[in-house]
Amino acid sequence: MKKATVVFLVSMFLLVSAVAVFAQQFDDIIKIGAAVSLTGKTAYEGQMVKRGYEVWEKWVNEHGGIKADGKTYGVEVLYYDDESDPVRSARLTERLITEDNVNFLAGPYSSSITFATTAIGEKYGVITIASTANARNIYERGYKNVFSVLPPAPLLMAPIAYMMDEVLEPRPKTVAIVVANDLFPLDVATGFNDICTELGFDVVMFEKYPPGSTDLSALLTKVKALDADILAGGGYTADALMILRQCKELDYTPKMFASIVGVFVPGFLKEIGADGNYAVEGEWWVPAMKTEDHIFGTTENYLQACIDMFGDDFIANYQTAAASATVSIIQMAIEKAGTIETEQVRDALKSFDVIELACFSPVEFAENGENIQWEHPVIQIQNEVVKVVYPLSSQESAPLYPAPTWKER
């Protein structure tokens, strides 16, 4: 017998044996469908989402499965590559429902693709937990089978405002907001403005600037004249770099700079070095969080499960964590309902107060399925190292405030 034939037969024997052991271990299987971007323009993000689903699937099957309906269920996640195409993703979602007979749907990457796939899930009455889709139009269609893990964009900077209110000493009084006139940063900045106003801060400036601007010196000169305690805004990484550099050129030191996006990007510190110190930013999730649930136990356990599965160099990002949260929430709802029947699981999802997760920030569903929980982490650059400074339950270091002047650094 040829060596290749022997290897093939041994491989088949091992595969059949594994399937047999799996079948003996569980009474039945819960099938979850996921059309995700494994190729195309969002392939990197789609792969990270898939890994989040995979690490949960492996963990649950190795830790006794899910108990409901008087049975012990194993779990199986079925994947198709949507090639980063909303039309293809919708078609594959229909296939998962009508041909593969999945019980639930775990969302794809991106809001635009999720907008398409959730219409299919709603058509067939199959619940979708959207892992990485927080565009508000997804949740404004009156659907009853769509739930989001990510909060909407206007809540991204919310924990910064609450940190300002609860933690910073002396408590800031005034806020200036300068923001790129682009959809996402404008949504975030508007939400921050509203929450700051609700908390009693005086927003002394809210100014938009053209996206892609390379010189904000005139606008920042106006901010300097107002001497606001908090300077907030920007757009993306290039904006955060530009604002800090031009503040230094103008010898203007806000007591704290709160960025929309960019500070947590590895290239930020490489570009700006020590001048990035004291900047803060809200994140959907970071690996330094310290949270717990009954599935993974602790965040540390979750991160170790990722390393065990994907290698020592793997660092879970928010897409991976949000995906693991997606399927963890499905599990929690099934366990609460005591069944895999859609109506009861949907009722269980709606009945949750705040869902605490070892793999992600807390989740709380509004009536339309949006996650309205704002208590995700705030990071600050301290001595050129990223530290979690809020919430207090995950705090690695107290926030440094007020920032020393440029000349004092």
Which pLDDT score, from 0 to 100, does residue 267 have?
87
Q: What's the whole-number mean pLDDT along residues 378-402?
A: 97
Per-residue pLDDT band at 183 (split at 50, 70, 90): confident
234-248 pLDDT tens trace: 999 999 999 999 999
Structural domain boundaries in the chain: 21-151+287-351, 155-283+377-408
Per-residue pLDDT band at 19 (split at 50, 70, 90): very low
Sequence letter at residue 384: E
Q: What's the whole-number mean pLDDT along residues 5-20?
A: 44
Q: Are strands 66-68 and 280-282 parallel, antiparallel or unpaired?
A: unpaired
Task: Read off φ and ψ for residue 228, nearest 5 degrees.
Answer: -65, 145
Residue 280 in this model has a pLDDT that exceeds 90: yes
Considering only residues 167 and 9, tell me which one the structure prediction assigns the higher pLDDT: 167
Which pLDDT score, from 0 to 100, does residue 12 have?
46
Which pLDDT score, from 0 to 100, does residue 8 have?
44
Mean pLDDT taken over the chain: 93
Residue 282 in this model has a pLDDT that exceeds 60: yes
Per-residue pLDDT band at 23 (split at 50, 70, 90): low
Q: What's the whole-number mean pLDDT along residues 180-203?
A: 96
61-117 pLDDT tens trace: 999 999 999 999 999 999 999 999 999 999 999 999 999 999 999 999 999 999 999
* Helix-helix angle 183-198:158-166, to 10 degrees: 30
Task: Read off φ and ψ for residue 5, nearest 5 degrees.
Answer: -65, -40
* Same fold flag, 21-151+287-351 and 155-283+377-408: yes
249-268 pLDDT tens trace: 999 999 999 999 999 988 89
Q: What's the whole-number mean pLDDT along residues 261-284?
A: 94
Taking alpha carbons only, the member of 270, 246, 271 closest to residue 257 is: 246
Cβ atoms of residues 23 and 36 within 8 Å: no
Alpha-carbon gap, residue 244 to 279, rounded angstroms:
9
We find that the CATH architecture of domain 21-151+287-351 is 3-Layer(aba) Sandwich (3.40)
Residue 361 in this model has a pLDDT that exceeds 90: yes
Residue 16 in this model has a pLDDT that exceeds 50: no
We find that the CATH architecture of domain 155-283+377-408 is 3-Layer(aba) Sandwich (3.40)
Residue 2 in this model has a pLDDT that exceeds 60: no
Q: What's the whole-number mean pLDDT along residues 266-292?
A: 95
Which pLDDT score, from 0 to 100, does residue 24 have?
58
Q: What's the whole-number mean pLDDT along residues 121-148?
A: 97
Which pLDDT score, from 0 to 100, does residue 25 have?
87
User: Which residue matches tokens 């892992």?
Assistant: 131
Which pLDDT score, from 0 to 100, does residue 185 have?
93
Cβ atoms of residues 89 and 35 within 8 Å: yes
Alpha-carbon gap, residue 134 to 152, rounded angstroms:
5
Low-confidence winner among 7-11, 213-217, 284-288, 339-343 (lowest mean pLDDT): 7-11
Which pLDDT score, from 0 to 100, does residue 265 have?
85
Alpha-carbon gap, residue 385 to 388, rounded angstroms:
10
Residue 6 in this model has a pLDDT that exceeds 50: no
Per-residue pLDDT band at 11 (split at 50, 70, 90): very low
Q: What is the pTM of this model?
A: 0.89
Q: How much of the chain exceeds pLDDT 70, in percent?
A: 94
DSSP state of 339: S
Which pLDDT score, from 0 to 100, does residue 22 have?
52
